[in-house]
Amino acid sequence: MSNAPQPPGTSGSAATPDGDSDLDLTLLEPVEHPPVEDWTTDLDHTISDYAQNAPEIWAELRDECPVAHTDRFGGCWFPARHEDVSSIAHDTENFSSRGIIVNDMGFRGESPVGFAPPITSDPPFHQIARKLLLGPFSPKAVAALEPATRETCRSLIREMLAEAADNDGVVDAATAYSQHIPVRVIARMLGLPETDGEKFRAFIHRILEKPGQVAVTPGETMAAYLEGVILERVDEPRDDLISYLAHADIDGMPLTPDHVFGSIALLLIAGIDTTWSAIGASLWHLAQNPRHHEQLRTQPELWPFAVEEFLRFYAPVTMARVVQEPVQVGQAEMSPGDWVLLPFPSANRDPEAFEDAETFVIDRQKNRHAAFGLGIHRCVGSNLARMELRVALQEWVAAIEAFELADEDPEAVRWATGQVRGPRELPVRILGATPPQPTTQPTGA
Amino acid sequence: MRIEYDRDACQGHNRCYLLAPEVFDVDDEGYAVLRITGEIPSELEEKAKLAVDNCPEYAITVVQ
């Protein structure tokens, strides 16, 4: 009998649209999401009204209703303050990660492994699954990826400036620049074609932005896409992360097929629109704050602080947990099975935790931000994301001397719904730029 | 001034390593390693304090 793992389609656990499935399929009849009238009693993070106004909603909740609730999604809590977000993130006894994406399908995985280890895993399995990924995403491993990332950014900027030149200087910085950077970086790490970016974005839209709300056929699922790739790497390993996971072991035992698939799905899904959102939101900020743009062009010593302040102020990711035991948080009495959103972006703007919390301070010296989470589930890709954000912004400000929002109204920018928030369309007008030179000879590869 | 580092509290955010690489190294899994266990040289005190002030898990403390 072969020790090699089989892809998920052959393991008897392929996605089915019932409560035991994964998030890759949709409800046959999508649930209605009517407009919200009161965020304290009926919060819905999957509608555009939330995405467009989130910072104001968070501020209102922190002041007036620190642990909000909605009956949507089968019952979901929203603790808005840093103190509660932190205590829940650190309490893995009462709050399980078996469900991390609040959805209409009622889908929660099984503790302690979950459907996408380690992000969906609980102790003690969590640490075992996490250990497999820490090496490839450590700061020193990530540093080796910086030159190629920089070249990717330069080449995108050259293409983008050519496009802008034909369009009165106007270009969409989200679709022409920020979205491609993480797609190319993670595709290279996983060993997937960079040209499959459209497919990756379709998976992400369906799974993260509108969980369970978009129709899909089984052939279009992420499981169907990854199944063939994993089989290939099982037979013919290459120097990539899919091959590494397909042949990894835990104490000499091969990973289960579901574990291999789940971890790869996690790396594909979690690394893309999160980073895309952070880059896009930072560019949105710079477009409206030319003084900060100029400071970054002339004071390179600001970068270590500025990157962390972008992460604090525009943290894209809200995670979720499932209540395991009856537990009280503030005035809220939570019951087993309830969803709890962990809005790290709201925690990051809590005046109890940060001085001048609602002000972007480019050289903030005390910044214990929670953009990458708190507790044992700290984002495993945080070093990669931080490097991509820094390089993307450094290359942008080096090439673009001045730019502004193409539409004067900042609210015209469309922010993504769901648990990852960032601008999905960001039309800007380039007011002055010098196209970057290639640092290496094009290889044509 | 000395620095105390709590390996159990550290979750590998690597903020200390980025801000004060003279004081903190990082292992192959991304957890911090204290490079200076004794007295922090005065020229590195500011950097060490910066690392303390930016640790999301309060895993680093200053001991006078």
Nearest CA among A3, A229, A13 for reference residue A113: A13
Q: Which residue of B has its CA nearest to A376?
A: B11
Which residue's entry shows tokens 């968070």?
A58
Looking at every residue in chain A, the average pLDDT score rounds to 91
**Is the pLDDT score of A13 beyond 60?**
no
Q: Which residue of B has its CA nearest to A132?
A: B29
The count of structural domains within chain A is 1
Q: Which residue of B has its CA nearest to A82?
A: B56
For residues A121 and A134, the answer to whether their CB atoms sit within 8 Å is: no
Query: Which residue range is the domain that position A298 belongs to?
Result: 8-26+38-433
Domain spans of chain B, in order of start: 2-63
Q: Is residue A54 part of a domain?
A: yes
E-state strands within A239-336: 249-250, 253-254, 318-323, 327-329, 332-334
pLDDT at residue A27 in the model: 60
More confident residue, A95 or A439: A95
For residues A123 and A92, the answer to whether their CB atoms sit within 8 Å is: yes
Determine the angle formed by the axes of helices A146-165 and A382-399, rounding to 10 degrees: 40
Cα A336 to Cα A327: distance, rounded to the nearest angstrom: 8
| Interfacial residues of A (vs B; Cβ cutoff 8 Å) | 131, 134-135, 137-140, 304, 308, 365-370, 372, 374-376, 378, 382-383
Exposed / middle / buried, residue A254 (Cβ in 10 Å: 0-12, 13-18, 19+): middle
CB pairs under 8 A between A and B: 52
Percentage of chain A lying above the pLDDT 70 cut: 92
A366–B14 C-beta distance less than 8 A:
no
Band (pLDDT 50/70/90 cuts) for residue A217 is confident
- CB < 8 Å & 24+ apart, contacts of A159-162: A161/A399, A161/A430, A161/A433, A161/A435
Question: A127: distance to nearest CA of chain B, Å?
Answer: 11
Band (pLDDT 50/70/90 cuts) for residue A28 is low
Q: What is the CATH number of the domain that holds A286?
A: 1.10.630.10
Q: DSSP string of A101-129?
A: S--TT-----TTT-SSTTTT--TTHHHHH
A304–B53 C-beta distance less than 8 A:
no
CATH class of B2-63: alpha beta
Q: Tell me what the mean pLDDT of segment A311-335 comes to.
A: 97
Which residues of chain A have a CB within 8 Å of the CB of B12? 134, 378, 382
Amino acid identity, residue A57? Answer: I
Band (pLDDT 50/70/90 cuts) for residue A289 is very high
Q: Is residue A342 part of a domain?
A: yes
Nearest CA among A306, A321, A297, A324 for reference residue A396: A297
Cα A111 to Cα A96: distance, rounded to the nearest angstrom: 7
Both structure tokens of A401: 């001397």
Nearest CA among A170, A140, A183, A194 for reference residue A408: A170
Instruction: Say which of A140, A365, A378 has its CB closest to residue B12.
Output: A378
Q: Tell me what the mean pLDDT of segment A253-278 comes to.
A: 93
Q: Cα-flanking dihedrals φ and ψ of residue A108, to 5°?
A: -135, 145
Q: In chain B, positions 16-55, which contact chain A (CB-CB < 8 Å)?
A: 17-19, 26-30, 50, 53-55
Interface test with A, best of B8, B11, B46 (most A CBs within 10 A): B11
Residues β-bridged to residue A430: A403
pLDDT at residue A264 in the model: 93
The pLDDT tens digits for A120-146 are 999 999 999 999 999 999 999 999 999
Nearest CA among A139, A211, A200, A181 for reference residue A380: A139
Nearest CA among A14, A19, A81, A48 for reference residue A421: A48
Q: Tell me A290's DSSP state.
A: H
Q: Tell me what the mean pLDDT of segment A91-99 comes to.
A: 97
Q: Which residue of B has its CA nearest to A348?
A: B56
Cα A214 to Cα B31: distance, rounded to the nearest angstrom: 40
Q: Is residue A345 part of a domain?
A: yes
Q: Tell me what the mean pLDDT of segment A103-132 comes to.
A: 91
The pLDDT tens digits for A36-71 are 999 999 999 999 999 999 999 999 999 999 999 999
Contacts of residue A28, Cβ cutoff 8 Å, sequence gap at least 6:
A17
Instruction: Say which of A138, A374, A375 has its CB closest to residue B26.
Output: A138
Interface test with B, best of A134, A317, A384 (most B CBs within 10 A): A134
Interface test with B, best of A382, A387, A389 (most B CBs within 10 A): A382
Q: Is residue A183 part of a domain?
A: yes
Q: How many other C-beta atoms are found inside a 10 Å radius of the C-beta of residue A170?
A: 14
Exposed / middle / buried, residue A437 (Cβ in 10 Å: 0-12, 13-18, 19+): exposed
Which residues of chain B have a CB within 8 Å of the CB of A366? 53-54
Q: DSSP string of A370-398?
A: -TT-SGGG--TTHHHHHHHHHHHHHHHHH
A304–B18 C-beta distance less than 8 A:
yes
Residues β-bridged to residue A172: A427
Which residues of chain A have a CB within 8 Å of the CB of B17? 139
Q: Is residue A46 part of a domain?
A: yes
Where b means 16+ CB within 10 Å and e means fewer, A19-47 reads: eebbbbbbbeeeeebeebeebbeebbbbb
Q: Is residue A272 part of a domain?
A: yes
Given phi > 0 = left and psi -120 to 50 = alpha, else beta, which region is A381?
alpha
Give the range among A9-23, A400-414, A430-444, B31-45 with minimum mean pLDDT: A9-23
Q: Tell me what the mean pLDDT of segment A217-246 comes to.
A: 92
Question: B1: distance to nearest CA of chain A, Å?
Answer: 19
Q: Is residue A1 part of a domain?
A: no
Residue A108's alpha-carbon distances to A20, A71, A101, A102, A379, in angstroms, are: 7, 17, 9, 9, 20
Instruction: Say which of B13, B28, B55 has its CB closest to residue A382.
Output: B13
A374–B56 C-beta distance less than 8 A:
yes
pLDDT at residue A205 in the model: 82
Nearest CA among A302, A298, A310 for reference residue A388: A310
Band (pLDDT 50/70/90 cuts) for residue A12 is very low
A367–B30 C-beta distance less than 8 A:
no
B53–A365 C-beta distance less than 8 A:
yes
Q: Is residue A157 part of a domain?
A: yes
Cα A250 to Cα A252: distance, rounded to the nearest angstrom: 5
**Is the pLDDT score of A21 beyond 50?**
no
ipTM of this complex? 0.98
